[in-house]
Structure 1
C-alpha cells in the first residue's frame, strides 16, 4: 500500500486521462481563486489582501491534470475568506482558509501499466471477483477428481456448489449483511495503522463478491447441465423434463449476467433492474423445480423403495441453501409500505422530500419507488428525530418527474442501508468532495457525526443557495465553518482534484472521499490514488 504522501521528484508522466475520463477545464483567472472579503483574523483589515499569481512562463511552476492547466499561486494570504453575497442569495464562490501556496499535484507513482492495472483493471472489486473465482475453480477440480461420474452424487455436488454461490450472491445484496459489513469495518479504532484502515475503507467494493459468486453459480449450472446431458445420451438417466429445466435455468442466469455488465447496465438501467429482479425470481423458481425433479429422478433410477421425495430433498444441502436464499429474497418485501412525503421544492433542479414516522439511523439511506416491481432509486437520508428527508436532484427521467410532480407518497421496503461515505469514520480527518446533489449523502454523514473537526468540505454546484436553499448551505458550514463552496454558474467548473489535494495537505487529513457523478468520481479518485493519496468514492456497482 502506498504511503499517504511524500515529496516526489518531477518527471514526465501520462495525464489523468488514464482514468478513462478527461478533467474539466479550469478558469485560472476566476474569482474563485481570489478572496473577495477577508475576515476572522486579528491581523486582517477591512480591505482585502493583495495576492500575486504567476503567469505562464519558463520560470513558473505549473502542473497539468489531463486537459487542465492550473497556475501555481505565489505570495502569502492570511485569514478566512468569508461567505460572499449571501444577501443576494448567492452562496459563496469560495469560503475557506486560502493556503499560502497552491500545492501542485505530485507526479504519479509507478509505471503507467502498473497504475492502470492496480487502480483500474485490478482494483479491489476485480480482486474480490478473482478470489471468488479461484476458490470455485479449486472446488471444481476437487469435485471432478474425487466424484464418481456415474453416480447421482456428482449432480448433487454440482447443485450444492451452484446453490452456495447463489446464496453468497444474494447475501451481498441483503441489507442486514451490508450494514453488518460496514459497521464492522468502521468500528476499527483510529489508533490502528493508517494502512490497515485504508484497506478496510475499500469495503464498499464488496460487490466483487456478489458478481463473482453469480458468475460462478452460472458456471456450476452449465457443468451440471452438461453432465445431465451426458447421462441422457448414455441412457443413465432419461428424464427430459429435468434436462429441459436445467438448460432453461442456465439461459436465465446467462441473461442476468449479460444484462448486468457495466455497458448495458449504464445505458439501460431500467431494463437491467427489471431483468435482474424478475428474471432472478424466475431463475430461483426454476432452481426449486429442478431440485424436485432431481428427487423424482433419483427415486426412479437409483432406488426401488416407495416414493420418499421429501426425504431425498431434505438430505440435499442444496435444498437448505436454496431455502435460506429464498428467505433472504422475500424478507425485504415483507416491509413494503407507502411512505407519506412532504415535498420542499428548491428549484427546477432540486427538491427535498421530508417524511415522518419512519425511523432512519444515522449514516443510512433508503430506496424509493413509484412502481415497486419495476424500479427503485437509492437516496442518502438526512435523519431527524422522528423521520428524515432526502435530497433529489435532476439527473434522469425519474428524478426530473419527482421534482416536477412530487407524489404524496412513495414506496419503501427493507431497512435503511449504509453507504460509502460512512467509511470516513475510519479516519481522524477526511476531505469530502462533492458536486450538485451529491451534497445529500454528505449531509447524511454530516448530520450523523454532528461535530466539527472530523471533516473538511468542498462542494461544487450551480448557485447552491438558490438551488438547494439556506438550510442546506448552513448544514455544511455547521460541521465545517470553512467549507469551500464553489458556485459553477458564476465562475465555471474548477479543478476539483487540485483543490482536494491542497485541502488534504493543508488540513493534514488522512483521506479524501468523493461523492459525485461516475465520471468525476472516477477522475478524482484515480488522480489521488495514482499519487499515493488515500481516496474513496462509489463505483459503478455501489
Structure 2
C-alpha cells in the first residue's frame, strides 16, 4: 500500500527546499465514521486532485504544540521554517471551507501578528553538548557503571599501595592489562553480538518480569561506561606499575620501563581524544586517534609481554621466550584475547558493490546483497583506515538489505552528489538498542526523520515483539521516496501513526509517544531522534510510568 504525501500550500523540506502544490484543488475532508472522533491513532482521508488513490495521515491536532527540543543539524531533527506557520494557517482555512488563497492567508497572518502583544525573549537554550552530557542526567546507568568500575579499581589500588593487597602490588601491570581486556570486550562487536543474542534468548520470554528486562536493556545500552572507566583505570594501574619499577630498577631493565612508558603515553593520548568535548566537536580526530594509538599500544603490549616473560632477574639477561613457560603467564593470555577481539571485525572487512539511489538532496538509499536479521546495524566506509559510519539496516531477511543515510556530513552528502559503485563494509553486523526490542512482547518505536530506518526491518519481517510505529518527519514523499513509504504502508494500519510536519505542522512528539504507548498497551517505548528529542520522549514516558529508552551520547 502506497503512502503518498501531498504538501499543503507552500512546504519546505528538512533543508529548506521549497515544493509547490495546487492548494486550490485540495480539500481536507473526513469520513463520517471518523469525523466525530478526536482520538489519536485515527486516520484522516485526503483525496488527491490528480490521483484517485487515498492516503492516510493521522489527525493529531491536539499534539500540535511546539516541542521544547531545539533544532540542530541532524537529519532526524524536525526543523521549522517560516513556511511551517503558513501551512498550519492554510490548513485551518481549508477546514472552515474558505478559499485556498495564499494572499488571503498572509493577510490573516499579518492581522494576527499586529494584534499579538510583543513576545517575551526566549530563554537561552542549552547547547547540544550540554544536552548530550548533562540533560540526560547526572546519575544515568552509564555514569553509575563508570563510577562503580572506577571505584573498585581505586580501592584495589589503595589496598595494594598500603600493603593490604600484595597480589595487586606484585601484578600491577597485569591489572592494567586486565582493564584493557575489559574495555576491549565492551567495544567488541563480535563479543557484544553474542551477549545481546544470549540476553534475548534467555530473557525474552513472556514469564520474565518487565523490571528485569528493562534492567538488562539499561545495562547493555550503557556498557560504554565500563569501557571508559576501564580506560582510566588502566592508566592508573600502569602509572602505579611504573612507579614500582622505577623504585626497583635493579630488577627492571630500562627496555621494559621504556616500553611501558610509551604504552602509558599512547593510552593517555587515546583517552584525551575520547574526552566528550573533543569527541563531539572533532569526531574524525577522535576516531582516527583512538584507532591508531590503540593499534600501536597493542603492538607495544606484545613487546612488553615478551620482554617481561623472557627476562631473568637473576642473570639479568633475556632468555628463550618459547622456553619460558609463557603459556602459564596470565599477561600472555590476556593480550592474546585482546588481540583476537580487536582483530576479528577487521577480518570481515570487504569491498562490495552497492546501488545508491537518492530520493532527494537530503537522503540516499544504499542497497547491498544478502538478507539481515531485524535490529542489527552495520558499518560502511569510503576508506577503511580513516572513517567508519554506522547505520541501521533495513531488510526483509531475504535477498538484500539497505541503509537510509541522511545527508548531514561530508560522507553522507557525497552519497547523494557522487554515488559510489563500491563501498567498504564490515560483514559482521553488530547489535544495539533496537535489537533489544526482541526482549519484549509489545513495543512502541518512535522515530523522527531518517531514524525510521533502524525500525523498518521489524515491519518487514516476523519479530518476537509486536511493534507499533510512530514516525514524525517532514516531506515524507519528497525526502524518503516511494520505496520507504511502501514499506511503512504495507504494515498493519492500526499499528502505525505517520505524521508529516509539512502537512500537519510540528507536533509534541513526547506527548504523542506517551498517548500512543497507552493506547496500544506497550511495555516499553524505544526512540531514535536527535539528543534533545530523545531526551524529551524518554523523560515524558518515564514521568507517565512507561519504561523508555533512547540513544545515549556513547551509544
Q: Deviations over 1:96-121 (max 9, x none)?
A: 4769x8799xxxxxxxxxxx999611
Query: Partner of 2:11 in structure 1?
Result: none
- Call closer, same or farther: CA 1:480–1:165 in 2, change over 3 Å: farther
The question of 1:284 aligning with 2:298 is answered: yes
Q: C-alpha deviations, 1:159-179, integer Å up to 9, x for none?
A: 211111111111112222211
How big is the shift at 1:291?
A: 2.2
Q: 1:324 to 1:156 in 2, by over 3 A?
A: farther
When residues 92 and 467 of structure 1 are mapped into structure 2, their CA distance, relative to the original with a 3 A threshold, is farther
State the TM-score, normalized to the length of structure 1. 0.76
Note the C-alpha offset of 1:82.
3.7
Structure 1 residue matching 2:468: 3-state secondary structure: strand
1:447, 1:456 → 2: CA distance?
A: 13
1:260-298 CA distance string (max 9 Å, x none): 1222111111111101111100111122222233245x4
Q: Map 1:156-195 to 2 at 5 A.
A: 157-187=171-201, 188=203, 189-195=205-211
Unaligned runs of 5+ in 2: 1-26, 66-132
State the distance in 2 between where 1:292 and 1:136 align: 26
Q: Structure 2 residue aligned with 1:461, among 456, 473, 483?
A: 473
Residue 325 (str. 1) matches residue 341 (str. 2): no
Distance of 2:445 and 2:159 partners within structure 1: 47
8 A Cα contact 1:82 1:96, kept in partner: yes
Q: Report the counterpart of residue 213 of structure 1 in structure 2.
A: 230
**Offset at residue 341 of structure 1 (A):** 0.5
Asked whether the equivalents of residues 279 and 286 of structure 2 are also in contact (C-alpha less than 8 Å), the reply is yes
Kept in 1, the 8 Å contact 2:448–2:471? The answer is yes
Residues 103 and 345 of structure 1: CA distance in aligned 2, closer, same or farther (over 3 Å) = closer
CA-CA distance at 1:148 after TM superposition: 9.5
Unpaired segments ≥5 residues, structure 1: 1-34, 52-75, 105-115
Counterparts of 1:136 and 1:92, CA distance in 2: 63
What SS does the corresponding residue of 1:191 show, helix, strand or coil?
A: coil
2:335 equivalent to 1:314: no
Q: CA deviation at 1:184?
A: 2.5
Query: What corresponds to 2:35 in structure 1?
Result: 49
Name the structure 2 match of 1:426: 439
1:520 maps to which of 530, 533, 545: 533
Give runs of aligned pairs for residues 229-378 of structure 1, distance below 5 A: 229-232=246-249, 236-237=250-251, 239-295=253-309, 298-299=311-312, 301-303=313-315, 307-310=319-322, 311=324, 313-356=326-369, 358-378=370-390
TM-score, normalised relative to structure 2: 0.74
Cα deviation, residue 144, structure 1 = 4.0
Give the stretch that moved more between structures: 270-279 or 406-415: 406-415
CA contact (8 A) 1:381 1:389 kept: yes
Q: For residue 527 of structure 1, report the CA deviation from its aligned partner.
A: 3.0
Q: Indicate how the Cα distance of structure 1 residues 86 and 270 shifts in structure 2: closer, same or farther if over 3 A, else same.
A: farther
1:38 aligns with 2:24: no
**Distance of aligned partners of 1:404 and 1:260 in 2 relative to their CA distance in 1, 3 Å threshold:** same
SS at 1:223 equivalent:
helix
Matched, 1:380 2:392: yes
Counterpart CA distance in 1 for 2:318 and 2:307 is 16
Q: Tell me the SS of whatever aligns to 1:385.
A: coil
Query: What is the rounded CA distance, in whole Å, between the counterparts of 1:244 and 1:95 in structure 2?
Result: 67
Counterpart contact for 1:450–1:479, Cα < 8 Å: no
Name the CA shift for 1:438/1:77 in 2 (closer, same or farther; >3 Å).
closer
Deviations 1:27-46 (A, max 9, x none): xxxxxxxx94435xxxx35x
Which residue in 2 is equivalent to 1:474? 486
The 3 A distance-change label for structure 1 pair 362 and 49 is closer
Asked if 1:438 is matched to 2:424, the reply is: no
The question of 1:120 aligning with 2:137 is answered: yes
Q: Please name the residue that 2:57 is paired with.
A: 95
Contact 2:41–2:497 at 8 Å: present in 1 too? Answer: no
Contact 1:156 1:316 survives alignment (8 Å): no
495-504 vs 174-183, which deviates more? Answer: 174-183
1:365 aligned counterpart, secondary structure: strand
The Cα shift of 1:306 comes to: 8.2
C-alpha distance in structure 2 between counterparts of 1:369 and 1:424, whole Å: 27
In the alignment of these two chains, the number of paired residues is: 455
Which of 371, 395, 403 is residue 390 of structure 1 equivalent to? 403
Which stretch shows the higher mean deviation, 476-485 or 137-146? 137-146
Aligned to 1:140: 157
Determine the C-alpha separation between the residues in 2 that align with 1:78 and 1:370. Answer: 44
What is the root-mean-square deviation of aligned Cα atoms in Å? 3.2
